[in-house]
Amino acid sequence: MACWLYEGMLMFGVVFIAGYLFSTLTQTRHALDNRHAQQAFLFVVFGIYFAWFWAKGQTLAMKTWHIRVVDRTGHPLTQARALLRYLVAWLWLLPPLAVSGLAGLPGGEMTVLLCGWIVIWALLSRFHPQRQFLHDAIAGTRLIHAAPADSVPLKKPNTAHR
């Protein structure tokens, strides 16, 4: 979960650049103009970001926390499987957001519902035989520990005197 939070902080930069690009290209002058189109654009940008990095094995946050995503057999993900993982991972957020939207819940109640859903969703991994999150089980992926590459040891200088 710490990696997930760190990924969210890094995504701020992606959102900023993509939002600026969208606003510039569409000549959007007000934040609420074209907001659904901008949300769709960000959805696609996020998909490209995650599918690209997951197919390479790690995002920057995953690299920091020594986590790698692989398929069930331990091989790197294909672009298609990485995209499937991205789409299924939206189950972390979409159900409570849909309920909030349909019920017309105010922001505070929506936040409580969203946080409660995320906690329940995370706890469900404890019931999976391999302790996987449901989106990984559905997408046929798994997270593994990726030990950092060993650094080359430095030779000690010869301090012996003759």
Mean pLDDT to the nearest integer, 89-93 = 91
Cα separation of 109 and 122, whole Å? 20
Q: Whole-angstrom Cα distance, residue 62 to residue 5?
A: 11
Q: Is the pTM of this model over 0.85?
A: no
Residues 33-76: pLDDT tens digits? 888 999 999 999 999 999 999 999 999 999 999 999 999 999 99
Over residues 106-159, the pLDDT tens digits come to 989 999 999 999 899 889 889 988 889 989 999 999 999 988 765 555 555 555
Q: What is the pLDDT of residue 6?
A: 92
Confidence at residue 82, expressed as pLDDT on a 0 to 100 scale: 97
Contacts of 138 (CB under 8 A, 6+ apart): 88
> Distances in Å between the alpha carbon of 150 and those of 66, 67, 147?
13, 16, 8
Residue 159: per-residue pLDDT: 58
Question: Stretch 81-95: mean pLDDT, rounded?
Answer: 94
Between CA 92 and CA 54 the distance in angstroms is 18
Cβ contacts of 18 within 8 Å, gap of 6 or more: 41, 42, 45
